[in-house]
Amino acid sequence: MEIPGNNQTIKNPLDAVILRSGEEVKQTWTAGTPVASSISVDGVPARTSASLTVLITDLRLIAIRETGILATNYDLYTEMDLEAISGLSLRDVMFQRAVVVNYRAQGGTAELILTGLDDHLEGDRETPNPFKPNSDAPAKRFIASLDTAVRKRIEEVEIEKKRDRIIFDFAALRDLMENGGIVVTTVKCPSCGANVDLPKNGDTFTCAYCGSAIHAVDVMKKLRELISAK
């Protein structure tokens, strides 16, 4: 995928985000989200709605914002790992039923409010009416889909953690690699980048150049990342 430069506009919302290696988009939705307006009432900024394209992938929830007045452009509004999502609920916002996504971010919590969710299925679409909350059906479908994706991702993360715990020392790591036809005798220190020899046993050793601790579990994670990136 070509990455637009500073002077290029992005015409397709899906081009506003780079997917991770192996990441797959499962569903695409359109939605709005409340944002502060430049217009204020008695010094209090009014609220308006920004248009979003929302992607549910097998790894993340991604919101892409539509921008521009004379020409439409797109940029990344927010994104979060599925396992960071801690809650989903329905709430009335700006005369509409909204889905509120709570998630962990930068050591705290944050929320993403999505109004007017639409997966473009016929049968439950309504003409927007500011005095009548829109149908719950698309919002409930979104919650169900996202909840399923989150649960599946959490299960995958737990499996990865258990697999990492199995590789508890360098002897087990060496046996696993050799049984798979892989011979690795040196690794780069994650702190200083020096090539260091892998020990024959133990779960941790010290870099001879910078003194940093190198763990068998971390070496296994790095090998898995390199293999999955191919």
pLDDT at 121: 64
Rounded to 10 deg, the angle between the 170-179 and 216-228 helix axes is 30
Nearest residue to 56 via CA among 38, 93, 35, 29: 29
Measured CA to CA, the distance from residue 181 to residue 52 in angstroms comes to: 48
Q: Which residues is 114 bridged to in the sheet?
A: 99
**pTM recorded for the entire structure:** 0.64
* Class of the CATH-defined domain 13-164: mainly beta
Measured CA to CA, the distance from residue 184 to residue 174 in angstroms comes to: 8
Measured CA to CA, the distance from residue 31 to residue 143 in angstroms comes to: 13
Q: What is the pLDDT of residues 6-21, one digit of tens each?
A: 445 667 888 888 999 8
pLDDT averaged over the chain?
81
Q: What is the pLDDT of residues 107-118, one digit of tens each?
A: 789 999 999 898
Q: Domain boundaries in the chain?
A: 13-164, 167-228
